Amino acid sequence: MAYATLVSNKPADPLEPITYRDMATPLGELRLVASPKGLRGAWFTDQEGLPSTEGWTLSQTDPILEQARRELDDWFAGKRRHFDVALDPVGTTFQHKVWHALCDLGFGKLASYGDLARTVGRPKGAQAVGGAVGRNPIIIIIPCHRVIGADTSLTGFGGGLPRKQALLAHEGNRYLSRNARARRVCDGQAELPW
């Protein structure tokens, strides 16, 4: 995973050219958004908090968007376990620390909010880490779906718990219920859920 910038804690430049495209996935339509430096966002189109496309340019040929689309298609097909597309999310210094820590979680690996808090040097900051995870603007590629409760409970997910359960199953982690309190039942790579 390559961050285009180490930290981009300023608001996005309103004059910066932003492109977007939508793509089909087994879990619903995903909107990809790019700046000239890298992937700026990825949201399911029915997700709460989906930004408006006002001022953005629809593009089916932007090289960053095309690379992200190809990599996501390969990931969903089980042909890829990590992403190489350049990333350019906008967030605070702390959010970037958390997002970098998420990127370090390998395929199928899970971490609790407390684990991430210790990783970023804030051992008592699980709640703050939860806030940063919840503001992740690049779903799946910055793998916030890999964050679970300390007791292995499913907890929340911006794309919805059914999608989180499916993403975790794709990576070999089984949950029998879509309830936020559901506990993991086993590990190991498994068949694709779609």
Write out pLDDT tens, residues 106-151. 999 999 999 999 999 999 999 999 999 999 999 999 999 999 988 8
Cβ neighbour number for residue 13 with a 10 Å cutoff: 10
Looking at 144, 154, 166, 168, which residue is catalytic? 144
188 within some domain = no
Told to judge if 103 belongs to the known catalytic residues of this protein, a careful annotator would answer no
User: Does residue 61 sit within a domain?
Assistant: no
Residue 163, domain CATH: 1.10.10.10
Neighbours of 112 (CB within 10 A): 18
Number of domains in the chain: 1
**Per DSSP, what are the bridge partners of residue 111?**
147
In this structure, is residue 14 part of a structural domain?
Answer: no
Residue 131 lies in a domain: yes
In a domain, 139, yes or no: yes
The two tokens of residue 2 are 């390559």
**pTM for this structure?**
0.87
Q: How far apart are CA 31 and CA 44, in angstroms?
A: 6
Domain limits at 131?
Answer: 93-171
The number of angstroms, rounded, from the C-alpha of 148 to the middle of its chain's C-alpha atoms is 14
Average pLDDT over residues 49-58: 95
119 belongs to a structural domain: yes
